[in-house]
């Protein structure tokens, strides 16, 4: 049977926009009419609403997820001579933020089943210089924080969750949301994220009043009151237009996450026995499927990707070059083979189309073409 050809993007932001267009335009118009363009009523309301959503006392809206990680490290007092343990299998910004803070990133390997940090590797990497640990909730699945927090707490080391890809995901205990278990959580609202702005945005969540006050100061040039600067901060504000958009989208986030999860479960069924390795959807956690990532064994990933591109199917590799092997990280002295699981997975992973509006017919088309390719 021949299947009619289709164009299916990796992410379809226009489909989402069509559903909320009128509301978004009215909200943006409201901001423009008020001409209050930086931290104002929408940022303050969004901070409250996002904190309530995550189950934390505070959320501090900032300019990006990178700002969120950087400011969080600064608020913890991380600086020259300190080490921060994280993974190499992540977006570059996780490690970049550690370098912004003038600390040394100590990158460890991951668990190949979960794509998340390997606890034993963290334990081995701890030194008296370790000042923070950043687990990354990659692809929308939270890292196993219960044992990690136990280890960190016993050493008095704060955990900063990189929750840039995990808005609304649940922790291992099925209760705490991403960003609510560590000392702080850092979120990105980059446009393609589960909760995405129409530009840039980020937030830091925390239960700690002191850290929240420092973060609010750091996002606005270190000011205490207007033009009074006890510390050097950053221009890292979330702007009013983005906050107004995020407030509208936040009200739909649960529904969109459910739709992503349903599509993830359906892909898993459609691809069972196809020869690709599909992601786990563990019962106790709520994986929010920021990306639906298959593993293509046997060195066939790039050929499958090319085959899907020919059929009009958008894909991406998250991420092809591990951070420890990036040119920009050369001064850290890593070499191929240092993080074997990370390096192997970088050659196997493939993200296929995933967004809440993805239709059954589109999913069937994607799965059929994967199955056909893998059958040869």
Ligand X SMILES: Cc1ncc(COP(=O)(O)O)c(C=O)c1O
What is the DSSP secondary structure assignment for residue 105, as one 8-state letter? Answer: E
Nearer Cβ to ligand X, position 8 or 97? 97
Q: How far apart are CA 129 and CA 148, in angstroms?
A: 18
Compute how many residues bind ligand X; rule: CB under 6 A: 15
Nearer Cβ to ligand X, position 203 or 362? 203
Q: How far apart are CA 105 and CA 70, in angstroms?
A: 13
**Residue 162 touching ligand X (CB under 6 A):** yes
Binding segment toward ligand X, per CB under 6 A, in 49-57, 64-72, 231-239, 259-267: 64-72
Q: In the complex, what is the shortest distance from the CB of residue 136 to ligand X, in angstroms, rounded to a whole number?
A: 5
Among 145, 164, 244, 291, the residue binding ligand X under the rule CB under 6 A is 164
Nearer Cβ to ligand X, position 42 or 351? 351
Among 91, 139, 170, 319, the residue binding ligand X under the rule CB under 6 A is 91
Q: In the complex, what is the shortest distance from the CB of residue 188 to ligand X, in angstroms, rounded to a whole number?
A: 3
Residues 346 and 321: beta-carbon distance below 8 Å: yes
3-state class of 184 per DSSP? Answer: strand
Residues 66-85 vs ligand X: string with x where CB under 6 A?
x-------------------
Residues 132-151 vs ligand X: string with x where CB under 6 A?
----x---------------
Q: What angle do CA 277, 116, 259 make, to 5 degrees?
A: 65
Among 158, 168, 202, 279, the residue binding ligand X under the rule CB under 6 A is 202
Residues 224 and 213: beta-carbon distance below 8 Å: no
Check the CA dihedral 166-167-170-175 and report its sign.
positive
**Residue 86 touching ligand X (CB under 6 A):** no
**Residue 90 touching ligand X (CB under 6 A):** yes
Helices (H), the chain: 13-34, 41-54, 65-75, 93-100, 119-125, 145-155, 209-218, 240-250, 253-271, 301-310, 340-346, 360-375
Q: How far apart are CA 51 and CA 358, in angstroms?
A: 29
Binding segment toward ligand X, per CB under 6 A, in 17-25, 91-99, 230-238, 291-299: 91-99
Contact set with ligand X (CB under 6 A): 64-66, 90-91, 93-94, 136, 162, 164-165, 188, 190, 200, 202
């Amino acid at each position: 049977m021949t299947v009619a050809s289709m164009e299916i993007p990796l992410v379809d932001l226009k489909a989402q926009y069509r559903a909320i267009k009128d509301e978004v335009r009215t909200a943006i118009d409201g901001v423009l009419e008020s001409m209050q363009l930086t931290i104002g009523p929408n940022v303050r309301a969004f901070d409250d609403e996002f904190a309530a959503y995550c189950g934390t006392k505070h959320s501090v809206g900032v300019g990006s997820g990178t700002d969120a990680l950087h400011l969080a490290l600064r608020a913890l007092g991380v600086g020259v001579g300190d080490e921060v343990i994280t993974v190499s299998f992540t977006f570059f910004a996780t490690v970049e933020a550690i370098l912004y803070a003038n600390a040394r990133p100590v990158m460890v390997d991951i668990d190949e089943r979960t794509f998340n940090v390997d606890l034993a590797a963290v334990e081995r990497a701890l030194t008296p210089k370790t000042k923070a640990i950043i687990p990354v909730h990659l692809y929308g699945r939270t890292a196993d924080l219960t044992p990690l927090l136990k280890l960190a707490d016993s050493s008095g080391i704060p955990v900063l969750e990189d929750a840039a890809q995990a808005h609304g995901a649940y922790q291992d205990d099925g209760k705490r949301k991403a960003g609510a278990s560590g000392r702080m959580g850092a979120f990105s609202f980059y446009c393609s994220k589960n909760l995405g702005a129409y530009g840039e945005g980020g937030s830091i969540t925390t239960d700690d009043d002191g850290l929240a006050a420092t973060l609010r100061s750091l996002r606005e040039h270190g000011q205490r009151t207007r033009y009074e600067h006890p510390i050097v901060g950053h221009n890292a504000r979330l702007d009013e237009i983005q906050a107004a958009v995020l407030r509208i989208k936040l009200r739909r986030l649960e529904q969109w996450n459910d739709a992503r999860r349903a599509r993830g479960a359906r892909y898993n069924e459609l691809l069972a026995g196809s020869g690709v390795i599909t992601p786990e959807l563990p019962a106790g956690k709520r994986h929010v499927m920021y990306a639906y990532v298959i593993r293509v064994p046997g060195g066939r990933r790039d050929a499958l990707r090319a085959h899907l591109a020919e059929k009009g199917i958008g894909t991406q590799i998250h991420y092809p070059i591990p951070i420890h092997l990036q040119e920009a990280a050369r001064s850290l002295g890593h070499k191929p083979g240092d993080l074997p699981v990370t390096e192997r997975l970088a050659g196997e992973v493939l993200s296929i189309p995933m967004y809440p509006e993805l239709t059954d017919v589109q999913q069937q088309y994607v799965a059929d073409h994967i199955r056909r390719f893998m059958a040869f």
